[in-house]
Amino acid sequence: MDKKIPVAVLGATGTVGQKFITLLENHPWFTVSELVASPRSAGKTYEEACAWKQDKPIPTEIAKKTVLAAGESLESRILFSGMDASVAGPIEEDYANAGHFVVSNAKNHRTDSDVPIIIPEVNADHFEIIKKQPYKGAIVTNSNCVVMPLAMVLSPLDKAFGVEWVQLTTLQAISGAGYPGVASYDILGNVVPFIGGEEPKVECEAQKIMGRLENDHIVDADFVVSAQCTRVPVVDGHTETASIKFKKKPTPDQVKEILRNWKSMPQEKKLPSAPENPVIVFEEENRPQPARDIWLQGGMAACVGRVRECPIGDIKMVIMGHNTVRGAAGAAILNAEAFVALGYLD
């Protein structure tokens, strides 16, 4: 790529917006050229407008950029949306109408029948349905942060053995709630066994992602997910325990072999943010752990451990992924890379 593609970040001052900026620093294809936030931040420099919470400094070339107000016209064709769901819906539509490609992490349009939820390793073919969208541009989304590593694990297993159902319990990190998010008084030394609105998303997004494209619409996969979502005092990294029932019962070794060998489009096309292996399988009985393993392969892999037989389902296992990288900003960036690599920007 001769020249970097300018991109904008919508919701640039928020938690996901900050992660976009951190992950896009030195990106080989994209360069952040426009920062968009609420009217309250507009007109300020980014460093003035933003309560920066990342563990490396604001990139120098970003710090002094002036923040634009959501709604202003933009020059970038690709817009990364880290906007809060309370405002993302119509703003994303307006920009798509104006011809932009909105690569969104917000949940608002995920259930629209003409908006794909993309995991490039799983369903890059779903990009096709954007042609049904009424916009001059398009909206593309990534999944919920719990669904991301789950669908990455289920997809190759479904092809091999057919998934019937998944019983899931999550132990979710606080960064998933944004900022200020969870009050410390509620979570320090505690478990909160409920996350508002989470379980319905977790129980249906994987079926859409793993659905098949048929005459330009998606027919959802027909397995069942039952989720119990909890919040634990961990900063980054969602842990999930899963028991999976298959149509054809595999052995634990077969499951591990398929997961370890799985590679797909992002790996084949060597997309810049693609993990070398989308799924890492541990043999150590006490892994994966968020504090040790979230940064493997740049935070872009799903980590799996304790693959063993289940006396109720067929196989149980522990799944873990970086919720703000592969589960949010990193996912959207990989989606944009796939979008470009597949020629949709041309």
Which residues are identified as catalytic?
A: 145, 238
d(CA 15, CA 65): 18
Asked if 246 and 317 touch (Cβ cutoff 8 Å), the reply is no
Query: Any contact of residue 241 with a second copy (CB under 8 A)?
Result: yes
In this structure, what DSSP letter does residue 249 have? P
List C-alpha distances in Å: 217 to 128, 197, 255, 339, 343.
9, 26, 30, 18, 20
* Closest CB 177 distance from a second copy, rounded Å: 8
Query: For residue 223, which of 172, 164, 142, 177 has the smallest C-alpha distance?
Result: 164
Binder of a second copy out of 318, 328, 332, 334 (CB under 8 A): 318
Q: Which is nearer to a second copy, 33 or 289 (CB)?
A: 289
Query: Any contact of residue 36 with a second copy (CB under 8 A)?
Result: no
Query: Any contact of residue 294 with a second copy (CB under 8 A)?
Result: yes
- The per-residue DSSP string of 96-159 comes to HHTT-EEEE--STTTT-TTS-B--HHHHGGGGGGGGGSSSSSEEEE---TTHHHHHHHHHHHHH
Binder of a second copy out of 66, 228, 254, 267 (CB under 8 A): 228
Query: Any contact of residue 33 with a second copy (CB under 8 A)?
Result: no
Matching residue, tokens 């819906």: 89
Query: Any contact of residue 27 with a second copy (CB under 8 A)?
Result: no
- The per-residue DSSP string of 55-78 comes to SSPPPHHHHTPBPEETTS----SE
Q: Which is nearer to a second copy, 120 or 237 (CB)?
A: 237
Asked if 122 and 207 touch (Cβ cutoff 8 Å), the reply is no
* Closest CB 109 distance from a second copy, rounded Å: 25
d(CA 58, CA 259): 37
Query: How many whole angstroms from its chain centre is CA 17?
Result: 13
* Closest CB 205 distance from a second copy, rounded Å: 15
Query: Any contact of residue 171 with a second copy (CB under 8 A)?
Result: yes
Q: Given the rule CB under 8 A, which of 77-85, 95-103, 124-132, 191-199 is the region that contacts a second copy? A: 191-199
Query: Any contact of residue 200 with a second copy (CB under 8 A)?
Result: no
Asked if 156 and 258 touch (Cβ cutoff 8 Å), the reply is yes
Q: Given the rule CB under 8 A, which of 78-86, 130-138, 141-149, 303-311 is the region that contacts a second copy? A: 303-311
d(CA 308, CA 5): 45
Q: Given the rule CB under 8 A, which of 86-94, 101-109, 140-148, 229-237 is the region that contacts a second copy? A: 229-237
Binding to a second copy (CB under 8 A) within 66-105 occurs at none
d(CA 211, CA 219): 5
Site string for a second copy, 254-293 (x = CB under 8 A): -------------------------------xxxxxxxxx
Q: Which residues bind a second copy (CB under 8 A)?
A: 53-57, 165, 167, 169, 171, 174-175, 179-194, 203, 224-226, 228, 230, 232-235, 237, 239, 241, 243, 285-296, 305-306, 310-313, 316, 318, 320
